[in-house]
């Protein structure tokens, strides 16, 4: 299986919103072959708790504007690891230290990376 084109579109909007908030190390993983509940994990890093929260808020705002409903959010109060579940796309916004510690890319290393069409001027 491969990620649905609509999921790639949603992930692209989310990635560009994250880049607008200067998110770092943006990676989209196609988890559709391993996880029946979602197509894409989008990973993004922030340098501090305030930036992690701002990135998550920016993603949520842009996807809501695009008509995507947020199904659930976890970790917003802490600002270390925010999970935003939009159904076909699950976004993980993590403090860079936590990102290195949990190493989700290593955990999901068998999943293909999706090239996203980035239009923002933020760091990719």
Tens of pLDDT along 15-35?
999 999 999 999 999 999 998
Q: What pLDDT does 23 receive?
A: 97
Positions in the chain short of pLDDT 70: 1, 120-124
Which domains are delineated in the chain? Answer: 5-107 (3.30.460.10)
Burial 17-49 (b: 16+ CB within 10 A, else e): bbbbbbbbebbbbbbbeebeebbbbbbbbbeee
Q: What pLDDT does 121 receive?
A: 47
Q: What pLDDT does 25 receive?
A: 95
Q: What pLDDT does 117 receive?
A: 86
């Amino acid at each position: 299986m491969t990620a649905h084109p609509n999921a790639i579109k949603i992930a692209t909007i989310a990635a560009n919103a994250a880049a607008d908030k200067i998110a770092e190390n943006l990676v989209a993983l196609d988890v559709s072959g391993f996880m029946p509940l979602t197509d894409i994990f989008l990973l993004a890093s922030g340098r501090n708790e305030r930036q992690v929260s701002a990135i998550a808020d920016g993603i949520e705002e842009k996807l809501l504007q695009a008509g995507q409903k947020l199904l659930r959010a976890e970790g917003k109060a802490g600002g270390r690891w925010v999970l935003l579940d939009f159904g076909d796309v699950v976004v993980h916004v993590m403090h860079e230290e936590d990102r290195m510690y949990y190493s989700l890319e290593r955990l999901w290393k068998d999943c293909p990376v999706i090239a996203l069409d980035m239009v923002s001027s933020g760091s990719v």
